[in-house]
């Protein structure tokens, strides 16, 4: 297991020599100690990335593509080892982390190809002697600050397009799950020195120096709204390019014509994947009043039958939360809802059978409303709060009644509902009858307080490219036809 920083293609203990514990959330035991990088390490990493940028930018797009394909190949070979490590430090069931490795490899393959072929365009010119080109150029050094819930996948969503566009990168992983990212250095080690660098550590000591370094021209961050706002304030004077994905409070509408055989497990999947610790987790469920009694009964039974356990236990359906702070937030949201009149039908507690680990039972709540924290703030835990509605217009209004706008889901067979849903719901990604699926070619990102910018798709590549317009009169030498003087 690699537990060193990765700077200029070399392992490093860190300038201070300090380390910090990485815990297994299923057992609360220390897995390993990771280096606590600081401003000196960030400076070294940014210096290496800056020095590597001119040659990486000048490298042919086809060569860069082959190097990114090699990242995907090596990741595929090391899937099992990385998935197990990520399960130990992050808590997701092993099967989910195997999926994460596969999705990450696919992302590198996708950007290898569109980075090879998407460079700009020719646009119409005003005169026959003129040529107008739109050029796409890399920014330079990109700082990628990645979260703990999908540390490899969300790193890939940033690093793959950044590299494909010709940038170099410094990665700062979450201090909750740094080990899998540090281990990824072995997958990047065929790249030229300095093209990818990894500095683990805490936000104040490592994250802020990366954000503030004027040589870093783009900050790509996934995390909390509070931290995203802090980053924006830090770089306001620099006018630095920011790419921020700041979470959500996603709604799921179950229409009157929904098939409950499909809708109940679908909503549960969307709400409880990775123990509800997904940026696009369903955190608000709106069910037509006619279906509500049967939906609630089925959902309660379904949630009650899910098996809690450590991610390496083969029968586990729902793993632990990442830490005590996060479990305490879930407990506070449930307690607030109960104090305001909500009823817990199943769950709502720490499992009695688990004395260690940050476990919390899948929880179904009814009699909720928008005065409650569980319907307003991001919970990021295994909760399914259910409200009823009478008309589809009301369901749309409820879905939009949130400061967030990352994603939203709908189950229906009515094309009129689908049209109204995609036209009126204020969210960056919409799913109809197929919750929480990804498509590397489809842009992902939020509206309102859920952030700015898009990941994936050509839009995700453009997040890491400057646009330049070239206007060229190739005959040259003469005065333009519009020149007003000297006639």
Judge whether 277 and 149 are in contact, CB under 8 Å.
Answer: yes
Residue 437 lies in a domain: no
94-117 vs 151-164: helix axis angle to the nearest 10? Answer: 10
Compute CA 450 distance to the chain's CA centroid, rounded to the nearest angstrom: 11
Residue 284 lies in a domain: yes
pLDDT single digits (tens) 439-467? 999 999 999 999 999 999 999 999 999 99
Could you tell me the strand order of the sheet in which 465-473 lies?
120-123, 130-138, 465-473
Mark the ranges of the chain whose per-residue pLDDT is less than 50. none
Cα–Cα distances in angstroms (integers) from residue 185 to residues 65, 331, 470, in the given order: 18, 37, 38
How many domains are contained in the chain? 2
Residue 289 CB neighbour total at 10 angstroms: 13
Q: Are residues 217 and 299 in the same domain?
A: no
Q: Which residues contact 416 (CB under 8 A, 6 or more apart)?
A: none
pLDDT single digits (tens) 190-210? 999 999 999 999 999 999 999
Q: Could you tell me which of 318, 312, 317 has the C-alpha nearest to residue 275?
A: 318
Q: Could you tell me which of 462, 474, 476 has the C-alpha nearest to residue 135?
A: 462
Residue 442 lies in a domain: no
Q: Are residues 242 and 261 in the same domain?
A: no
Q: Are residues 231 and 289 in the same domain?
A: no
Cα–Cα distances in angstroms (integers) from residue 450 to residues 180, 192, 248, 481, in the given order: 26, 35, 6, 49
Q: β-strands 465-473, 130-138: how paired?
A: antiparallel
Q: β-strands 429-432, 465-473: how paired?
A: unpaired
Q: Are residues 171 and 123 in the same domain?
A: yes
Q: Are residues 242 and 280 in the same domain?
A: no
Q: Are residues 78 and 11 in the same domain?
A: yes
Token pair belonging to 15: 């300038």
Query: Three-class SS of residue 407?
Result: strand
Q: Are residues 204 and 309 in the same domain?
A: no
Catalytic: 279? yes
Residue 445 lies in a domain: no
Q: Are residues 343 and 230 in the same domain?
A: no
Q: Are residues 238 and 206 in the same domain?
A: yes
> What does the pLDDT read at residue 481?
58
Mean pLDDT of the chain: 96
The full length of the chain comes to 487
Q: Which residues contact 453 (CB under 8 A, 6 or more apart)?
A: 220, 242, 243, 244, 245, 445, 463
Q: Are residues 224 and 307 in the same domain?
A: no
Catalytic: 107? no
CATH of the domain at 66: 3.40.605.10
Q: Are residues 199 and 315 in the same domain?
A: no
């706008």: which residue's tokens? 405
Residue 313 lies in a domain: yes
CA gyration radius, the chain? 24
Which of 96, 100, 279, 378 is the catalytic position? 279
Query: Three-class SS of residue 401?
Result: coil
Which of 89, 100, 245, 463 is the catalytic position? 245
Residue 91 lies in a domain: yes
Token pair belonging to 452: 């700015």
Q: Are residues 301 and 222 in the same domain?
A: no
CATH of the domain at 278: 3.40.309.10
Judge whether 171 and 144 are in contact, CB under 8 Å.
Answer: yes
Compute CA 297 distance to the chain's CA centroid, rounded to the nearest angstrom: 33
């092993």: which residue's tokens? 94
Cα–Cα distances in angstroms (integers) from residue 117 to residues 156, 160, 461, in the given order: 19, 15, 12
Token pair belonging to 426: 């204020």
Residue 352 CB neighbour total at 10 angstroms: 7
Q: How far apart are CA 77 and CA 371, in angstroms?
A: 49
Residue 478 lies in a domain: no
Q: Could you tell me which of 114, 103, 7 has the C-alpha nearest to residue 64?
A: 114
pTM for this prediction: 0.96
Q: What domain range is 161 assigned to?
A: 5-246+450-471
Residue 174 lies in a domain: yes
**Beta pairing partners, 364:** 346, 384
Q: How far apart are CA 292 and CA 298, in angstroms?
A: 10
Cα–Cα distances in angstroms (integers) from residue 219 to residues 56, 193, 239, 279, 472, in the given order: 19, 21, 11, 19, 33
* CB neighbour class for 383 (10 Å; exposed up to 12, middle 13-18, buried from 19): buried
């Amino acid at each position: 297991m690699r537990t060193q920083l990765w700077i200029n293609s070399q392992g490093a203990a860190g300038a201070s020599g300090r380390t910090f514990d990485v815990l297994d959330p299923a057992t609360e035991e220390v897995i390993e100690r990771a280096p606590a990088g600081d401003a000196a390490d960030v400076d070294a990493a940014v210096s290496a990335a800056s020095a590597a940028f001119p040659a990486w930018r000048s490298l042919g797009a086809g060569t860069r593509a082959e190097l990114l394909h090699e990242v995907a190949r090596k990741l595929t070979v090391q899937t099992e080892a990385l998935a197990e490590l990520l399960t130990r430090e992050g808590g997701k069931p092993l099967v989910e982390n195997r999926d994460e490795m596969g999705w990450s490899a696919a992302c590198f393959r996708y950007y290898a190809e569109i980075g090879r072929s998407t460079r700009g365009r020719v646009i119409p010119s005003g005169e026959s002697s003129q040529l107008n080109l739109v050029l796409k150029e890399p920014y330079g050094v990109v700082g990628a600050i990645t979260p703990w819930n999908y540390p490899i996948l969300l790193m890939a969503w940033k690093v793959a397009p950044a590299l494909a566009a010709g940038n170099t990168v410094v990665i700062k992983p979450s201090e909750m799950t740094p080990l899998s990212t540090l281990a990824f250095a072995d997958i990047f080690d065929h790249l030229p020195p300095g093209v990818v660098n990894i500095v683990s550590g805490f936000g104040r000591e490592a994250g802020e120096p990366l954000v503030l370094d004027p040589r870093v021209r783009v900050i790509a961050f996934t995390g909390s709204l509070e931290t995203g706002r802090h980053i924006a304030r830090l770089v306001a004077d620099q006018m630095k390019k920011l790419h921020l994905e700041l979470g959500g409070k996603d709604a799921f509408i179950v229409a009157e014509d929904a098939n409950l055989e499909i809708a109940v497990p679908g909503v549960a999947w969307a709400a409880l994947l990775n123990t509800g610790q997904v940026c696009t987790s369903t955190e608000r469920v709106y069910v037509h009043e006619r279906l509500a009694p049967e939906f609630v009964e089925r959902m309660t039974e379904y949630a009650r039958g899910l098996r809690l356990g450590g991610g390496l236990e083969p029968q586990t359906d729902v793993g632990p939360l990442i830490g005590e702070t996060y479990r305490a937030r879930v407990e506070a949201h449930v307690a607030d809802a109960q104090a305001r009149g909500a009823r817990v039908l199943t769950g709502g507690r720490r499992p009695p059978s688990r004395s260690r680990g940050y476990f919390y039972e899948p929880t179904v709540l009814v009699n909720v409303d928008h005065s409650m924290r569980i319907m307003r703030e991001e919970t990021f835990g295994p909760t399914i709060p259910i409200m009823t509605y009478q008309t589809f217009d009301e369901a749309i209004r409820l879905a939009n009644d949130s400061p967030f706008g990352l994603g939203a889901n709908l189950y229906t067979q009515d094309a009129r509902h689908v049209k109204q849903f995609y036209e009126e719901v204020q969210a960056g990604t919409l799913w109809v009858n197929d919750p929480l699926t990804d498509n590397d070619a489809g842009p992902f990102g939020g509206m309102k307080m859920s952030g700015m910018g898009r990941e994936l798709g050509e839009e995700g590549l453009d997040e890491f490219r400057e646009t330049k317009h070239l206007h060229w009169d190739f005959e040259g030498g003469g005065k333009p036809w519009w020149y007003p003087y000297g006639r």
